[in-house]
């Protein structure tokens, strides 16, 4: 047993407790710091970012790319818990080897400073002041609690009643400090949160847009939008239904995904909050005229509105990581041409303020597809989690090779010069979106016999969806009715009216694009370049 433990078990010994409390106090200083200023992340977040970055590719493949908010919380809580346990061990060590343990505490402080300083959004001075104050306050807490324990030992000998008085005193202080640490963290999170950027964003009014899919967002999509009326009727017998007819189907994905419901994927533990007035986009690399452009200058350019379906390469067949929004922005060819790209440049490599990168062939911004430097989503300035103040949206490419959020730099380079964030982690460098379809309704797995609808969405950028079919218990494929679609770059709703008779059914769906490519039933997992296979549901009709 380690000295200084008396007869208590290791975990519940007072020295261990003293160490844990001191570590918690130190961490809470970091949390408070991070809440009141945008200039630094917290110690816990910084270590989390470090862990995400060093985790080997084959471990993160298909896990961190889709690290949900829940997993992010689990990661952060584990780091906090582990740090507190380390603190406990230091507390025990400090009873016998006090210099060594305080040096170790300082060592953790230095590690914290280093981790903070790697965070691209944390300034060096903020990293230093945070970690120095956290370390000092942590060490002082430990010294103080240890002094209470020492008093106890000295007085124990004289009068046993002192043991209880001092034990109570120690416990009171330890409890009080724990509560203080929790309160500091909580108050910081809730009351002192730095809302500057949130408020700035809310007051931005995007300028009018002259060109593009200027359809109303949300419920009321006009039936006769110019683009809708030019949409060709799908060949092969399916009917074409209006947006409102489709959106009325209960449980179907609305044609336009609202900003609130749009999926979110990124490696950011702390969402970058950027003041547009402190931000510029730099365009450089293999160009004749590198330049920087401000948010206001971007808003003064000719903005367009385009309806583009964005999806994540990690989306499983039938999965939720896909959405269809109207994006407001400047066509990327304009942004890039202004920099006069050299004839030799092949790749457009985009960098975010939080150190994420993604690259794709330069030719994709000149081949007629929608490729935007986007500032708006469904009529509003980009939501902070979706990239405020600016991001890329490129039709037909998975998000991880193109859709950089919180963008700060566009660099033109050779194809082999540079790889985006996910490429060395085992994902393909070229990543066009694959044809796919999803069943949204029926949502229940047990229904009553009678008329039902089977419905969902299908996408196949850039060509668009020509046909969607469903099959019951591997029977013949039956063609569905399709909704309108504003272009091949966005998804299509589909519906099949089903006279359901009692029995057990497996329903499958498959899509065909306008080039005649049929969605394959071979099962392919998301890594390295997107899932393949058919979505299916099992349902019982009674």
Ligand X SMILES: Nc1nc2c(c(=O)[nH]1)N[C@H]1C(S)=C(S)[C@@H](COP(=O)(O)O)O[C@H]1N2
**CA of 239: how far to CAs of 82, 216, 225, 298, 471, in Å?**
59, 24, 19, 42, 18
Give the number of residues in contact with ligand X, rule: CB under 6 A.
20
Binding at 459: pick from Mo ion, ligand X, none (beta carbon under 5-8 Å per type): none
Minimum CB separation of residue 47 from ligand X in Å reads 18
Which listed range, 70-78, 276-284, 404-412, 471-479, lies at the site for ligand X (CB under 6 A)?
Answer: 404-412
Give the range of 330-338, 362-370, 396-404, 456-464 binding ligand X by CB under 6 A.
Answer: 396-404
Q: Residue 190 is encoded by which pair of tokens?
A: 């809730």
E strand segments, 33-139: none
Name which of residues 251 to 270 contact ligand X (CB under 6 A). Answer: 262-268
Sign of CA dihedral 216, 222, 224, 229: positive
Return the residue of 32, 404, 454, 455 that touches ligand X, per CB under 6 A.
404
What is the DSSP pairing of strand 465-472 with strand 503-513?
A: antiparallel
Window 180-219: residues binding ligand X (CB under 6 A): none
**The pair of three-digit structure tokens given for residue 480, joined into one six-digit string:** 């569905």
Question: Quick one: what does residue 352 bind among Mo ion, ligand X, none, with the CB cut-off 5 to 8 Å set by partner type?
Answer: ligand X
Shortest spacing between CB 386 and Mo ion, in angstroms: 13
Cα atoms in the Cβ-side hemisphere of radius 13 Å centred on 58: 0
**Tokens found for residue 320:** 């939720």
Question: Which of 275, 506 has the CB closer to ligand X?
Answer: 275
CA distance 346 to 369: 17
Question: Is residue 97 exposed (0-12), middle (13-18) or buried (19+ Cβ within 10 Å)?
Answer: middle
- State the minimum distance, in angstroms, from the CB of residue 321 to Mo ion: 7
Give the closest residue to 336 by CA, choosing from 293, 306, 299, 390.
293
Residue 67 binds to ligand X (criterion: CB under 6 A):
no
281 contacts ligand X (rule: CB under 6 A): no
d(CA 454, CA 439): 7
CA proximity to 421, closest of 262, 263, 268, 291 = 268
How far apart CA 131 and CA 134 sit, in angstroms, is 5
Segment holding 158, helix H or strand E = none
Query: How does 422-433 read in b/e, with b if 16+ C-beta sit within 10 Å?
Result: bbebbbbbebeb
Q: Does residue 427 interact with ligand X by CB under 6 A?
A: no
Q: What angle do CA 504, 506, 508 make, to 5 degrees?
A: 155
Query: Contact between 47 and ligand X (CB under 6 A)?
Result: no
- Smallest gap, in angstroms, from Cβ of residue 266 to ligand X? 3
Residues that bind Mo ion (CB under 5 A): 265, 312, 399-400
β-strands 536-541, 322-331 pairing:
unpaired
Is residue 390 a contact point for ligand X (CB under 6 A)?
A: no
The residue from 121, 312, 470, 484 that contacts ligand X (CB under 6 A) is 312
Give 102 or 459: the residue with its C-beta nearer to ligand X: 459
Minimal CB distance residue for Mo ion: 312
Q: Is 39 in the site for ligand X (CB under 6 A)?
A: no
Task: Give min distance, CB of 415 to Mo ion, in A.
Answer: 21
459 binds ligand X (CB under 6 A): no
**Encoded tokens for 286:** 């293999």
Nearest approach, Cβ of residue 53 and ligand X (Å): 12
Whether the CB-CB separation of 192 and 36 falls below 8 Å is answered with yes
Rank residues 222 and 320 by Cβ distance to ligand X and give the closer one. 320
Q: How near is the Cβ of 384 to ligand X at its closest, in Å?
A: 11
Cβ nearer to ligand X, comparing 262 with 496:
262
Interface stretch with ligand X, choices 119-127, 247-255, 350-358, 523-531 (CB under 6 A): 350-358
Residue number, 145 or 404, with CB nearest to ligand X = 404
For ligand X, the closer of residues 231 and 257 by Cβ is 257
Residues that bind ligand X (CB under 6 A): 65, 262-268, 310, 312, 352, 354, 356, 386, 399-400, 403-406
């Amino acid at each position: 047993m380690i000295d200084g433990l008396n007869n208590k078990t290791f975990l519940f010994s007072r020295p261990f407790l003293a160490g844990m409390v001191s570590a918690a106090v130190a961490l809470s200083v970091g949390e408070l710091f991070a809440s009141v200023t945008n200039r630094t992340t917290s110690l816990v977040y910084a270590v989390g970012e470090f862990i995400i970055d060093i985790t080997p590719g084959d471990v993160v493949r298909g896990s961190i790319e889709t690290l949900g908010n829940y997993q992010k919380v689990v990661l952060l809580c584990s780091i906090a818990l582990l740090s507190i346990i380390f603190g406990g061990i230091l507390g025990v060590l400090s009873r016998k080897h006090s210099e060594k343990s305080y040096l170790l505490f300082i060592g953790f402080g230095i590690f914290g400073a280093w981790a903070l300083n790697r965070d691209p959004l944390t300034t060096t001075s903020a990293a230093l002041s945070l970690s120095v104050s956290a370390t000092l306050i942590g060490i002082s807490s430990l010294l103080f609690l240890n002094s209470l324990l020492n008093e106890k030992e000295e007085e124990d000998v004289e009068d046993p009643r002192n043991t209880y008085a001092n034990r109570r005193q120690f416990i009171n202080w330890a409890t009080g400090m724990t509560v203080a640490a929790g309160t500091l963290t909580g108050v910081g999170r809730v009351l002192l949160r730095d809302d500057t950027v949130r408020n700035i964003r809310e007051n931005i009014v995007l300028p009018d847009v002259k060109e593009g899919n200027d359809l109303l967002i949300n419920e009321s999509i006009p039936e006769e939008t110019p683009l809708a009326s030019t949409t060709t009727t799908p060949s092969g017998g399916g009917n074409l239904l209006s947006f409102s007819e489709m959106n009325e189907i209960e449980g179907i994905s609305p044609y336009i995904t609202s900003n609130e419901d749009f999926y979110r994927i990124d490696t950011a533990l702390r969402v970058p909050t950027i003041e547009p007035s402190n931000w510029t986009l730099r365009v450089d690399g293999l160009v004749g005229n590198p330049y920087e452009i401000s948010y206001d200058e971007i808003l003064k350019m000719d903005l367009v509105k385009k309806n583009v379906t964005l999806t994540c390469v990690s989306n499983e067949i039938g999965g939720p990581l896909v959405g269809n929004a109207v994006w407001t922005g400047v066509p990327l060819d304009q942004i890039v041409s202004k920099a006069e790209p050299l004839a030799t440049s092949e790749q457009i490599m985009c960098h975010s303020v939080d150190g994420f990168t993604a690259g794709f062939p330069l030719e994709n911004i000149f081949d007629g597809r929608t490729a935007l430097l986007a500032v708006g989503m469904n009529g509003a300035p980009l939501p902070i989690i979706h990239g405020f103040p600016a991001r890329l949206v490129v039709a037909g490419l998975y998000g991880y090779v193109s859709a950089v959020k919180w963008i700060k730099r566009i660099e033109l380079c050779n194809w082999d010069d540079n790889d985006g964030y996910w490429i060395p982690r085992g994902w393909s460098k070229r990543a066009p979106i694959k044809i796919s379809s999803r069943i949204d309704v029926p949502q229940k797995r047990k229904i009553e016999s009678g008329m039902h609808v089977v419905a969902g969405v299908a996408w196949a950028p850039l060509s668009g969806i020509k046909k969607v079919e469903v099959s019951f218990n591997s029977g013949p494929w039956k063609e569905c009715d399709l909704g309108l679609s504003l272009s091949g770059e966005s998804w299509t709703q589909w519906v099949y009216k089903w006279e359901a008779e009692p029995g057990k059914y497996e329903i499958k769906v498959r899509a065909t694009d306008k080039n005649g490519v049929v969605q394959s039933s071979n099962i392919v997992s998301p890594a390295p370049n997107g899932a393949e296979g058919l979505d299916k549901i099992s349902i019982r009709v009674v």
